Amino acid sequence: MKIFIGADHRGVELKEQLAIYLKEEGFDIELSKLINNETDDYPDFAFDIARKVIKNENSLGILICGNGIGIGIAANKVKGIRCARVINSDDAYKAKNHNGVNMISFGGISFEEAKNIVDIFISTKTAFEERHLKRIQKIIDYENEEEHEY
């Protein structure tokens, strides 16, 4: 499985730690090639990773910034991305299993916490129950300007 990881300057260390960990676990990891510095902007990394996830079917994306909020909002502006800001492994499970996310974002957590979140995110099966699929499809339809009365 291909996993793309990006972070602004506040998430560089955690990004590097996760990349090493995931490579050791056998995943194909690609980091954003954008350069980090003290004045970098989180939307640049969000857009970069989100575009890569869209272009690579069945891939996942991980974004890290100060708190995971802004970078996740930016990622969700890319058509086809469903990114959830998660703060624990339960969030990661529900985001993927209930909401079919293809990206997660977080920040301000330890490597151990991040590892647990990422492990759950990767291992959880995407939404498959009809009630969840129906809700995800509504989001996709709206994104594609195919609004329906439900």
Catalytic residues: 65, 98
Cα 36 to chain centroid distance, Å, stands at 19
> How far is residue 55 from each of residues 4, 39, 59, 79, 130, measured CA to CA in Å?
11, 28, 9, 11, 26
Angle at the Cα of 91 from the Cα atoms of 89 and 96, rounded to 5 degrees: 100
Contact 70, 111 (CB under 8 A): no
Tell me which H or E stretch contains 115: helix 111-123
Give ∠ CA 68-92-43 in degrees, rounded to 5: 25
* Amino acid identity, position 19: A
Q: Which amino acid is at 65?
A: C
